[in-house]
């Protein structure tokens, strides 16, 4: 009966069969619990920030749950329950724009008229692809990159991804030559390149892009007359120097002639509250762009994935408490820094090093010396042992399109510290086991 359904139903480009998602399925069958299932699989493949829930819960307790939907003493329930247009609540957009600026050390200002609300960054990224490219056209993306982009950017839009191959030899930094090579590869495949898509801070590397890298991307995009999409959803997770530099801040540092000044209309930011505030279930995402035509179209498209009025209202109240938000940002960074050190130092004691990182909810872990051979088959063998033999779901580098076998993304912020300590113990057991040691 499949011939009675659309081609999209049977399309295999969703990416659900990636090892990134397969690891989740194994975890769901046997999830770790410190009391009920202490031998279960520990979920280290989920980039969630659960370190500061106590701060948000304390705020909610102080501000009385019974008054959530009240404004100036009067109930807002009826207003919030009835129809809202897709432009979003003005009060929430104002607070979100100010928060986005605060995260960027107020070096960039945001105009609410250029902001489109979406149901999470997933919706924002897909909407941008619909707005910027036709099916069969391409975006260049530095590797390694978040496995979900194969779904978010490609599945429904028909847009293609061409990797910009980055290397461990320079800590996976973006170079002009790598971008040029990717552009040539797209031409060989007869794909029209519409833009460069960057994630800053990087998922899975946990690093912020340098000003030089951002300048490379900007210069390249000007020369090729293409767009830049900068996914900045991890901007609030930067816990060490160097500081985060937004693509707009980088643009502000460059002097343009009149012709090149048009790049401002071809640069678009994706933002979210899912990672730094740890609220993925609230589905708070946003697109920011100076391109009026794009903003008008994206606003119309947002009707297919709106944020509930209740979520917008509650989050506007939290974000408007500027004293709380400043304290939250500072404490969140402190806890992330501490937690990252627990993982890095624990792995170092087992002889495993991580790429030096300053942001994110994960580490990019080098396990190349544990492979039986420098192949992706050997990487998958090691990954299967980690998941099935040692109860650790991590993301293999191949799922992130890394072109060097033996790298893994390991998350550290979605669990208790005791669970992270147990994870390190299990990794030590993996290293010590005869099965995993390369003789």
- What are the C-alpha distances in Å from 368 to residues 353, 363, 379? 10, 15, 8
Q: What was the pLDDT predicted at 436? A: 45
Mean pLDDT by 10 residues, the chain (439 residues): 67 66 87 95 94 92 71 74 82 96 94 96 97 97 96 95 98 98 98 98 98 96 97 96 95 73 93 93 94 96 91 92 96 97 97 97 97 95 95 96 97 96 97 63
The predicted pLDDT at position 435 comes to 47
Tokens 């920030």: give the residue. Answer: 49
Pull the structure tokens for residue 85. Answer: 């247009």
What is the value of pTM for the model shown? 0.93
Left, alpha or beta for 266 (phi > 0: left; psi -120 to 50: alpha)?
alpha
pLDDT at 142: 98
CATH numbers and ranges of domains, the chain: 2-54+325-432 (3.90.1150.10), 65-324 (3.40.640.10)
pLDDT score recorded for residue 327: 96
Q: Is the peptide bond between 354 and the residue preceding it cis, with omega within 30 degrees of 0? A: no
Q: Between the CA of residue 424 and those of 10, 104, 352, what are the distances in Å? A: 40, 33, 11
Q: Residue 240 has what pLDDT? A: 95
Catalytic residue set? 146, 231, 233, 275
Quote the pLDDT of residue 9: 67
- Residue 330's nearest CA partner among 276, 279, 280 is 276
State the pairing for strand pair 395-396/407-411.
Answer: antiparallel
Q: In the prediction, which pLDDT does 76 show?
A: 76
pLDDT of residue 16: 63
């Amino acid at each position: 009966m499949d011939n009675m359904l659309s081609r999209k139903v049977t399309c295999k480009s969703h990416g659900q069969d990636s090892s990134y998602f397969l690891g989740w399925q194994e975890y769901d069958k046997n999830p770790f619990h410190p009391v009920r299932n202490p031998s279960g699989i520990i979920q280290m493949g989920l980039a969630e920030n659960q370190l500061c829930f106590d701060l948000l819960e304390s705020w909610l307790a102080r501000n009385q749950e019974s008054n959530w939907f009240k404004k100036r003493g009067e109930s807002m329930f009826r207003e919030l329950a009835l129809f809202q247009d897709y432009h979003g609540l003005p009060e929430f957009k104002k607070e979100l724009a100010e928060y986005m600026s605060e995260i960027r050390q107020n070096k960039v200002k945001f105009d609410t008229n250029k902001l489109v609300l979406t149901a999470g960054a997933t919706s924002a990224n897909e909407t941008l692809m619909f707005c910027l490219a036709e099916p069969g056209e391409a975006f260049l993306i530095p590797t390694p990159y978040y496995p979900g982009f194969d779904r978010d950017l490609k599945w429904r839009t028909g847009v293609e991804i061409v990797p910009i191959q980055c290397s461990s030899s320079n800590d996976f930094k973006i170079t002009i030559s790598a971008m040029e090579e990717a552009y040539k590869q797209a031409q060989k495949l007869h794909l029209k390149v519409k833009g460069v898509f960057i994630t800053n801070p990087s998922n899975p590397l946990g690093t912020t892009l340098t000003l030089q890298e951002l300048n490379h991307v900007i210069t390249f995009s000007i020369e090729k007359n293409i767009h830049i999409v900068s996914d900045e959803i991890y901007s609030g997770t930067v816990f060490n120097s160097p500081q985060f530099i937004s693509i707009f801040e980088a643009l502000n540092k460059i002097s343009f002639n009149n012709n090149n000044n048009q790049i401002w209309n071809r640069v678009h930011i994706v933002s979210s509250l899912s990672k730094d505030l740890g609220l993925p279930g609230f589905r708070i995402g946003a697109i920011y762009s100076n391109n009026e035509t794009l903003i008008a179209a994206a606003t119309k498209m947002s009707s297919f994935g709106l944020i509930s009025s209740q979520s917008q209202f509650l989050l506007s109240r939290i974000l408007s408490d500027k004293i709380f938000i400043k304290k939250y940002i500072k404490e969140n960074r402190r806890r992330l820094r501490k937690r990252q050190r627990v993982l890095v130092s624990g792995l170092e004691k087992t002889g495993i090093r991580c790429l030096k990182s300053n942001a994110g909810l994960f580490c990019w872990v080098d396990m190349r010396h544990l492979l039986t051979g420098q192949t992706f088959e050997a990487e998958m063998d090691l990954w299967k042992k980690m998941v099935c033999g040692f109860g650790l779901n991590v993301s293999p580098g191949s799922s992130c399109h890394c072109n060097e076998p033996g790298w893994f993304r390991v998350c550290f912020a979605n669990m208790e510290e005791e669970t992270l300590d147990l994870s390190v113990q299990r990794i030590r057991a993996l290293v010590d086991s005869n099965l995993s040691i390369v003789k």
